[in-house]
Amino acid sequence: MTTIPARLARAAQTSSSPAQARQRVIQLYRDWYRGAPEIVSIYSLNVSPAYFRHCIRRHFEENRYVTDTRVIDVLIQKGRQEYQETMNLWKQTDHIMGILLQPKGRPPEPSCRSSMRAEMRTRYSQHDWSYSGTSDLSLDGSPILEYCTFVASQENMIVQLTLFANNLAHLLMLC
């Protein structure tokens, strides 16, 4: 299929009622659903059209409980824009793979992490973190090293903690 920029272009519309917004959402969903085999073939994706349809459905389900027609209109406009850009080959394969990935939600915090944070607050809230003014940046025996060791033993983030300690030492040099 050739790329014709105006092929899928539509003027922005506003819904006058929730029923009209619902019809427009259903039409957009149908367009994505019907376009799934073509999208999979033109972008040479290593997934089936059924899986791509499942991912599209998941994205629509994320906004299932939106009731404000103005918000729905914005979401429809964004979805229509994504559809037009996808069908006109204005995206790269990586952009399409972003549709297939899981939604970017914040994972729930494990209960052990919240108790660890409370313990760190009580353990290190009493210390005076002011800079001593010496040029010796050795952290041996300091609360910073103890703090870093504590976090590393709890979460196995040794690399991040090393960077944290180096950055902290660099910041102390700048003071």
Do the domain assignments include residue 78? yes
CA-based R_g, the chain, Å: 26
Closest CA to 45 of 108, 101, 85, 2: 101
What is d(CA 155, CA 75) in angstroms, rounded to the nearest whole number?
38
Single pTM value for the model: 0.57
Note down the domain range covering 73: 18-100
Does residue 30 share a domain with residue 56?
A: yes
Q: What is the pLDDT of residues 68-89, one digit of tens each?
A: 999 999 999 999 999 999 998 8
Rounded percentage of the chain residues whose pLDDT exceeds 90: 34
Q: What are phi and psi of 64, to 5 degrees?
A: -60, -35
Does residue 85 share a domain with residue 66?
A: yes
- Based on the structure, what is the number of domains in the chain? 2
Q: Residue 137 in contact with residue 169, Cβ under 8 Å?
A: yes
